[in-house]
């Protein structure tokens, strides 16, 4: 593993009270300087994942490491919840399992407030892991397609948006939306790096400042990718290895590797220009 700084843009705390301390030790070993922790409130019946209160306790205990993303329940929470989370010290927002498509305009007041308060939003995209309980909660993965983020990113150009899992399985939608929206990023967490070869990702993320068809801001495809683990602390090293395999196979430059490991996330979090 490289001994360069890393920002993990997608993580969760487990319900284990000792998890934040275990995560901190793992991050120190892996040179992870910041880890964005996504909360999920208990009414979605994911008891193994920490809720807003537990994530809040985590970033108060490890303020130099843990960056809190509070869970907004679309269809239940309004813009006032965004303001509340900001006042409690959360940096960003987490969205998952909406009752309607993410780009439904009834959710726009939430997004507008997030833009006003400069709170980046991370959206779960595509397939949701099946849970052992809570089957009365309706999960419609088609409501979480990456193309919906294109609509939101165009409507709120000042809001930074992160799509999880490169939209698995709707990768083409994700990458084309990233190409056209300077404020839209994606992570490669989840199963994608296990079942898709690096060459496939190279074909999806093909444009740069020299290509005939590029981004309106002249950015390259890989400037829109961030590191995200979305696994338990003891598996982060394995995800880092998967990212490194992509870097080496595609012969990505050291600059691009640093961008993905650290700089792209630092820009999102306002740690550097």
- Domains and their CATH numbers in the chain: 6-268 (3.20.20.140)
Q: What is the pLDDT of residue 1?
A: 65
- Mean pLDDT across the chain, nearest whole number? 95
Instruction: Give the whole-angstrom CA distance, residue 243 versus residue 219.
Output: 20
Most confident of 2-16, 19-33, 38-52: 19-33
Which pLDDT tens digit goes with each residue over 148-206?
Answer: 999 999 999 999 999 999 999 999 999 999 999 999 999 999 999 999 999 999 999 99
Q: At what angle do helices 147-155 and 108-116 cross, to 10 degrees?
A: 60
Q: Are 82 and 113 in contact (CB under 8 A)?
A: yes
Is the pLDDT confidence value at 2 over 90?
A: no
15 pLDDT band (50/70/90 cuts)? confident
Structure tokens, 261: 């490991």
Is the pLDDT confidence value at 122 over 80?
A: yes
134 pLDDT band (50/70/90 cuts)? low
Q: What is the pLDDT of residue 26?
A: 98
How large is the average pLDDT for residues 247-262?
97
Q: What is the pLDDT of residue 272?
A: 76
Is the pLDDT confidence value at 273 over 60?
A: no
80 pLDDT band (50/70/90 cuts)? very high
Q: What is the pLDDT of residue 132?
A: 67
Q: What is the pLDDT of residue 138?
A: 85
Judged by average pLDDT, the poorest of 101-105, 216-220, 237-241 is 216-220
Structure tokens, 169: 């399985």
Name residues whose C-beta falls within 8 Å of residue 260's C-beta, 6 or more positions apart in sequence: 222, 225, 226, 227, 243, 247, 252
Q: Are 13 and 19 in contact (CB under 8 A)?
A: yes
Residues facing residue 68 across a β-bridge: 37
How large is the average pLDDT for residues 66-70?
98
Q: What is the pLDDT of residue 242?
A: 98
45 pLDDT band (50/70/90 cuts)? confident
Q: Are 128 and 141 in contact (CB under 8 A)?
A: yes
114 pLDDT band (50/70/90 cuts)? very high
CA distances (Å), origin 180, targets 127, 168, 216: 24, 19, 7
Q: Are 45 and 133 in contact (CB under 8 A)?
A: yes
238 pLDDT band (50/70/90 cuts)? very high
Q: What is the pLDDT of residue 47?
A: 84
Q: What is the pLDDT of residue 129?
A: 82
- End-to-end C-alpha distance for the chain, whole angstroms: 26
- pLDDT: which is higher, 246 or 136: 246
How large is the average pLDDT for residues 248-260?
97
């Amino acid at each position: 593993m490289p001994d360069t700084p890393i920002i993990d843009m997608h993580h969760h705390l487990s319900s284990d009270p000792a998890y934040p301390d275990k995560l901190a030790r793992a991050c120190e070993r892996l040179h992870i300087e910041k880890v964005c922790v996504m909360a999920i409130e208990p009414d979605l019946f994911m008891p193994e994942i920490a809720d807003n209160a537990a994530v809040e306790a985590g970033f108060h205990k490890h303020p130099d490491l843990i960056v809190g993303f509070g869970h907004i329940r679309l269809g239940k929470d309004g813009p006032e919840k965004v303001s509340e989370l900001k006042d409690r010290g959360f940096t960003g927002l987490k969205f998952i399992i909406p009752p309607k498509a993410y780009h439904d305009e009834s959710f726009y007041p939430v997004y507008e407030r997030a833009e006003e308060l400069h709170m980046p939003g991370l959206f779960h995209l595509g397939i949701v892991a099946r849970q052992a309980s809570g089957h009365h909660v309706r999960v419609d993965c088609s409501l979480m397609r990456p193309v919906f983020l294109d609509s939101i990113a165009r409507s709120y150009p000042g809001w930074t948006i992160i799509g999880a899992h490169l939209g698995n399985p709707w990768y083409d939608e994700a990458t084309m939306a990233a190409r056209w929206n300077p404020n839209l990023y994606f992570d490669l967490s989840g199963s994608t790096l296990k079942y898709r070869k690096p060459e496939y990702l190279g074909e999806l993320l093909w444009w740069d400042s020299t290509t005939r068809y590029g981004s309106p801001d002249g950015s390259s495809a890989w400037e829109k990718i961030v590191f995200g683990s979305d696994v338990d602390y003891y598996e982060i090293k394995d995800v880092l290895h998967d990212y490194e395999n992509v870097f080496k196979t595609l012969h990505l430059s050291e600059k691009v590797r640093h961008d993905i490991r650290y700089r792209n996330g630092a820009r999102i979090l306002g740690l550097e220009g």
